[in-house]
A and B are shown apart, each in its own frame.
Chain A
Amino acid sequence: MYARALQAMFRAAILAAVATAPAPTHAGDGAIEINQTCAVMTGCDDADSPGFPVTIYAGRHVLTSDLATSDPSQTAIQVNGALVWLDLQGFTISGPTSCTSPGPACSPTGSGSGIVTVSSGYTTIVNGTVRGFGSDGIAVNNNCRVQGVLVTENGRHGLATGLGCVVRGVRAVRNGSNGIVTGANGVLAHNLADGNGAAGMRGEQGSVFVDNTSDGNGAEGIGGYVGGNVVNDNHARGNALYGIRASAGAIVEGNTVADNGALGLFLNGQAGYGFNVIRPSATVPGSTTVSAGAQNLGDNLCNGVTTCP
């Protein structure tokens, strides 16, 4: 009698659990899993319908497989809530677009992105690859953190962020427009931008660019716009336009700038520069060192001499 009652209670508890929690699937550590199967077949998060985009809300999410879409106008993951932490766990989110150098020329293009946030911000994305989307690889709102991600061969920007983001260890390679473009007051450190169609990296007022490498991009290697940027200890080489561009109020120090198509340093008259090594291209007409009128703080080497520009 007693045992039968326990069995009934046990059965009821199991049934209740099954009835109330068919999805999402939680990883062993409590995170919500995203994989190709749930993306296509069942939906991955609460209120996420089968098919792309996978729509996620608050919380920690982890990829447990690669995700692939075939439509250049299809977004793979859409973040609808604030405070999302998305760990790609080394997997790749891919679309159908490919880009070939020089240019690069990307095809097909469209309106789809790998990851898009439409929330109020505070999203973190780490550890994986976003490749081949018709528009941006990753487009993320304010106060984001993006670390350890490769964004490559996307039709527009590799990574586009709002203001106040920390971007570290991102590699943006061969995207159709800018490699990395951020809003104001961001920190970009230890990133690589190579062979993108426009700038390697761009940021607005009060942005900090440190210890980045930006090579072979279609516009400037690193561009600090609007004002008050820090552009220190970077390398910019072989970019089609400027090595480094900076606005009034900027400080540009400790950079190595070589073989760019126009000025090595294109600086506003109220930007300061020092401790830079600037070498124009020997083969590109119009390739020079530093724009006239910028504030020379000393200790620069311009085309082999210490007089700049």
Chain B
Amino acid sequence: MSLSRVALACWVAGLLSASPALAADGVIEINQARADAGGVTPGDAPGYPVTLSRPGSYLLTSSLLVASPNLTAIEITSDDVSIDLNGFKLVGPATCTGFGASLACAPAGSGAGIFANARDGISVRNGFVGRFPSGGVILFQVESCVVEDVTLQWNGRALQVGGSCTLSGLIVDRNAGEGIFSFTNDASAQDSVIDDTVLRESVLSRNRGEGVFTTSSAGRDRFQIERTAIYGNGRTGADLRTEGGLRDSAVYGNAQGGIRLGVNSPDPDSGLLRGNAVGSNAYGFALDPGHVGYTHNNVTGNTNASSGGVQIGPNVCGGDLICP
């Protein structure tokens, strides 16, 4: 082999390694080797974070292990990005002890599993994101997102979303902040006039903060929880400072209360609680007195009395059909 031929081979190999790894179906692969090498998308430097600067479909083909508490695993800087974790893990360096209010994690840091700021159309599916000191999946002011079949454990805040998102099949356990935090900025360019986010068929458990906490700059957005178990969180199970509601959900054993809806909200919020079991919390519910209705719930065995809301149908409250 001549020296010039070797040089040509090396040049070709270099070109190949710098271009995105494409699966046969056009999906762009992300794995530890490509994270180390960089070039997953234009502008992606070697090491962390893996920067996704182009719309498209991305597939993990190995787990990503991040040793520094201040590094993020994947940063999304484009709209319309879909990440299939493909059963793999994004893992940071934090470890935690305890549960709920007594949960303690170390080290602290600014790293997240997945981070996006003010983007549209982000999807994250099928895997585990854990042990990132700042947060697991932080979709800050991201509109129109989908997060499903993801397990989030031992992060700071587990999951943050903007508005108009669909969240389902999540297991959110033992995170140091809120399980799910939703904040919509009604002045942002991405914001819809009215956002509706739905959380379904998930378990939010033993987080140090609230199971779910929602707020918005103007209070006109909505967060609906359905068919979900919320238990053992260190603060309130669901604290919705937006429009919203809970249906067919069990809210059990949360340290500071079961459900708050429309309390301490920027403006009056309407909502509906129907078909829920709310028990063994500090209190069952605390509701906006004029705009939140409740019916067909069982609110039994909480330490303190529920308050607020309008009873629009029968409920079970400690064996009494009249609540509170």
Contact = CB atoms under 8 A, between A and B. Distances in A.
B139 interface: no
15 contacts: A3-B6, A59-B63, A60-B86, A85-B127, A85-B128, A143-B171, A168-B201, A187-B229, A206-B277, A230-B249, A249-B298, A251-B275, A271-B298, A272-B296, A272-B298
Contacts of A87: 87
A238 to B, nearest CB: 25
Contacts of B130: 83
A210 interface: yes
Given A206-B253, A249-B277, A60 B88 contact: yes
A29 B319 CA distance: 55
B306 to A, nearest CB: 14
Contacts of B296: 251, 253, 272, 274-275, 297
Interface residues of A, number: 52
Interface string B230-265: 011000000000000000111011000000000000
What DSSP secondary structure best describes chain B's contact surface? loop
Interface in A83-111: 83, 85, 87
Contacts of A185: 203, 205, 229, 231-232, 250, 252
A250 B298 contact: yes
A164 B86 contact: no
B151 A205 contact: no
Interface string A239-272: 0000000001111011000000000000001111
Interface stretch (B158-166, B214-222, B310-318): B310-318
Interface residues of B, number: 57
A87 B85 CA distance: 13
A122, A249, A269: which has the most chain B beta carbons within 10 Å?
Answer: A249
Contacts of B316: 251, 270-272, 295, 297
Contacts, number: 186
Given A187-B203, A249-B279, A270-B319, A208 B249 contact: yes
Given A185-B232, A251-B297, A295-B314, 20 more contacts: A6-B1, A60-B86, A87-B87, A122-B128, A145-B171, A166-B170, A166-B201, A187-B228, A206-B279, A208-B250, A228-B278, A228-B301, A249-B301, A250-B277, A270-B316, A270-B318, A272-B297, A274-B296, A275-B296, A297-B315
A165 interface: yes
Contacts of A233: 248
Closest 4 CB pairs of A and B: A85-B87, A206-B252, A60-B87, A272-B316
Contacts of B315: 272, 297
Contact of A147 (B169, B203, B227, B321): B169
Interface of A: 2-3, 6, 29-31, 58-60, 83, 85, 87, 122, 124, 143, 145, 147, 164-166, 168, 184-187, 189, 205-208, 210, 227-230, 232-233, 248-251, 253-254, 269-272, 274-275, 295, 297-298
B279 A297 contact: no
A232 B246 CA distance: 14
Contacts of B86: 29, 31, 60
Nearest to B314: A297
B11 to A, nearest CB: 15
B203 A230 contact: no
Interface in B153-183: 153, 169-171, 173
Nearest to A251: B298
B61 interface: yes
Given A31-B87, A85-B127, A208-B228, A187 B202 contact: yes
B201 A189 contact: yes
